[in-house]
Structure 1
């Protein structure tokens, strides 16, 4: 196997699972094994929790400058091994080579951004109205954080948690998805190589009874943070609240509307819409599912996005330079295919694609569907694949109701040259992010949702708040 055998990283050491159990990591491009990882047991998880608590006690008391030196050392180690990390993501996710750079850049940017940002955190004074006391808000590390990570951006997701946790003074247990654990296990190896303080970072993967439940039900973690589905978030809350009240930072699923008016720059809207569905094979929480296109330009838009889909090159590997790779696993192929079939049952017409691609690998055709029923139940589902469901609308009042008709509230997109319309949608859209005539994501920009799309934010200075205690200190004046 290309990447061999990878061990758990617990208490500063690489170790086999106590049970000796392993798990085979499959490349979704050809369905062949690429690595074996140690598969953690409940015993391993309990040991990881105890180690993380000791790690927190050490790390939280370490002078800030020393903490930042360690973070910088880790960041430099990742950069030294950038090709190894990018290649591991390409194989575990089937991601195109260019796409792996986003993961690597995100984790290294996160480590640097939060190392800089924590230095800006100072005590906040509060004026005493009567002049009898002095008040200030001080920030202190929260405790052990447990991070459950989605498979779609293995190191981007990891970096969104690792950066603020380490900068804030927390230890962190990283539980990657079983569909893309390889790069996280390599992070553990790199931590071990530089002798990163033990217990501060832990990497392990295993099943729900052996890992997921013990991590949640333990009283040691003070923060449960996650990137994944709303259903998973609900389970984590239910499991973890049984034993202690914890803090939560949860980035959950989305069901983004993509709204295009008749005066929009159609070429721009088509390019952005197609890129969001082709990029990462549509496995992006902020990718639009529901394309609401003004009835006067819907034919042009559909023709344009179909042309982009037709020209998209599918494949795997650096030498082939594909535009789109496979889905992450067989279950995703089945799910996406079922969504397409259900959309057709509900009146949709497949304009392009709509089928899995025969042969090895979990490939699915980029797919465009026209759907006239604006209230079809299928519009309530997050697709998480390369499928665009295109729906007509006629007025701003109609489309705002359609856009907001979802339990999700992560990202949204609007294309029009009318400034009044842009302001209208800024005010009316029930989403944590509103992108107008374009889109941008970066480590310094807050990323989070409302409604069932989550609690808290990833990225930006605001993410640090999830890992810090705010304590009010009041002193009487003589």
Structure 2
């Protein structure tokens, strides 16, 4: 039997690396060649119960630990992650099929998150509150929340993990991390690194398993004070229903998007084409903020469409650190079927296939970068998040028309506008019903808030605002002597 590249990885619970109590394992498949690359311990209900109890005990010690000591432990973990950068990046390549260059964002994000929140928590001082009558002194105190449970999407395994781990650890909360079954490998390696440095027991717990054995018990338990997630709107709804029956919990959910990409007639066309194409090719379009609907002014739509198609045609598709591809496979076979169905439906609804349109033959979950031009804006397919390398291009005439088209969705995460007119940009910034409006470019970083409106979620990841989910705000009032 061929040896697995990453061997077998264990659960990380209560500071220990352990196999499942029932001995179950799960194969991690590389999307590039459909071959097993590792096995992971597959948690049981008993393991989940142990993780919950351990996280509660971990919180009781971590939350009262002096801040300086807590920050020393976070820095020790951060340094250990940096020491193992290549290992972690390779694990992401093999569990996700990412390009080597694409894996860097994951690694950088978790490193930056641990550093940023270690600095940010030191700025959270008690806040005085004015007493209008002068009879009391008041202050707002920030204290650790408790146990957080984080459900992670597969598309950015360590970025997603870092967005939750950073604020949880800095705040003094403990956390249970449940990675996606499609990309659990790098998370399990983080568990190994925690074990190597003897990170305080129970503060971080990492496990993956069936919904019935892991997902539902985590939600139904009274122990977690926060349920946080990066994933689909449908998953968020299920988690809220599953968790609300036993106790009042906080929620922070970053859900799916249906991002409009609006290109006005006066736009810097080359910049719009290059960014639009890059956001569809990058991570094979498996990005919640990737443009989903390209609304292009009728005066430039021919040129825009040709430009996108040319970049797609020249995309270097493949896998491997040495080969230097700029687009890899989709994460799994189900994703290939979903994207193919969306493409076929768009064409059935009157779309013109400009380039691509099908999965590549042979091993691996590869799909051609695809450009489809719709004749009008009434196609029902515009209501569906693609989560793949497909650009659906739609003409429009006026900004009033396109604002209605862009907002005609239950999602509200990211949006993009290209125009050289300042008044036009301000118009869209005011009218777009999305948590993020990116004008003439794109910028994401750990210090910038990332969150949606409508069915794209509640709460935010990144920035100082994310800390609010992991902290209790307590008012302390002192009566003054009269």
TM-score in same-fold range (> 0.5): yes
Q: Name segments (4+ residues, structure 1) moved above 4 Å.
A: none
**Residue 60 in structure 1 maps to residue 79 in structure 2:** no
Match of 2:258 in 1: 255
List per-residue Cα deviations over 1:219-252 (Å, max 9, x = no partner).
Answer: 0000000000000000000000011110000000
Partner of 2:249: 246
CA offset at residue 372 of structure 1?
Answer: 1.7
How far residue 345 of structure 1 moved from its aligned partner, in angstroms, is 1.3
CA shift, 1:16, in A, is 0.5
Give the equivalent residue in structure 1 for 2:312.
309
Match of 1:18 in 2: 21
Compute the displacement of 1:373 (Å). Answer: 2.6
- Provide the residue aligned with 2:192 in structure 1: 189
Separation of aligned partners in 1, 2:230 and 2:318: 27
Tell me the residue number matched to 2:423: 420
Separation (CA, whole Å) in 1 of partners of 2:28 and 2:376: 41
Q: Structure 2 CA distance, aligned partners of 1:132 and 1:457?
A: 37
Q: Which residue of 2 aligns with 1:299?
A: 302
SS of residue in 1 equivalent to 2:5 = coil
Q: Give the Cα–Cα distance (whole angstroms) in 2 for the partners of residues 434 and 204 of structure 1.
A: 35
For 1:400, what is the secondary structure of its paired residue? helix
Residue 431 (structure 1) aligns with: 434
Which residue number corresponds to residue 460 of structure 1? 463
- Output the CA distance in 1 between the equivalents of 2:59 and 2:390: 44
Structure 2 residues without counterparts, runs of 5 or longer: none
| SS of structure 1 residue aligned to 2:302 | helix
Residue 139 (structure 2) aligned to one of 122, 136, 141: 136
Separation of aligned partners in 2, 1:134 and 1:147? 37
The partner residue of 1:119 within 110, 119, 122 is: 122
User: Secondary structure, in 3 states, of the residue corresponding to 1:25?
Assistant: strand
Q: CA deviation at 1:376?
A: 1.3
Q: CA deviation at 1:89?
A: 0.2
Match for residue 330 of structure 2 among 327, 330, 345: 327
Distance 1:212 1:322 in 2: 36
Distance 1:305 1:346 in 2: 21
Deviation (angstroms), 1:64: 0.2
Candidates 23, 26, 36, aligned match of 1:33: 36
The equivalent residue for 1:229 is: 232
2:395 pairs with 1:389: no
Q: Distance in 2 between matches of 1:409 and 1:161?
A: 21
Task: Return the TM-score normalized by structure 2.
Answer: 0.99
Query: How far apart in 1 are the matches of 2:59 and 2:352?
Result: 55
Determine the C-alpha separation between the residues in 2 that align with 1:34 and 1:193: 23
Structure 1 segment 333-348 matched on structure 2, within 5 A: 333-348=336-351
From 201, 205, 209, the counterpart of 1:198: 201
For 1:92, the equivalent position in structure 2 comes to 95
Counterpart secondary structure, 1:76:
helix
Distance 1:463 1:71 in 2: 17
Tell me by how many angstroms 1:475 deviates.
Answer: 1.1
Return the match for 2:452 from 442, 449, 453. Answer: 449
> Which SS does the other structure have where 1:338 is aligned?
helix
Equivalent residue number for residue 180 of structure 1 = 183
Q: Note the alpha carbon deviations across 1:280-330, whole angstroms, 9 max, x for none.
A: 000000001100000000000000000000010000001110010000000
Once superposed, what is the RMSD of the aligned Cα atoms?
0.4
Q: How does 1:257-296 map to 2 (within 5 A)?
A: 257-296=260-299
Give the secondary-structure state (helix, strand or coil) at the position aligned to 2:201.
Answer: coil
- If the length of structure 1 is used for normalisation, what is the TM-score? 1.00
Q: 1:475 aligns with which of 465, 475, 478?
A: 478
1:145 corresponds to:
148
> What is the CA-CA distance between 1:375 and the residue it aligns to?
2.1
Q: Which residue of 1 is the match for residue 171 of structure 2? A: 168
Matched residue SS, 2:247: coil
Helix, strand or coil for the counterpart of 1:457?
Answer: coil
**Superposition deviation, residue 106 in structure 1:** 0.1
How far did 1:349 drift? 1.1
1:407 to 406, 410, 418: 410
Q: What is the rounded CA distance, in whole Å, between the counterparts of 1:195 and 1:201 in structure 2?
A: 11
Shift of 1:414: 0.2
**CA shift digits 1:25-53 (9 cap, x unpaired):** 00000000000000000010001000000
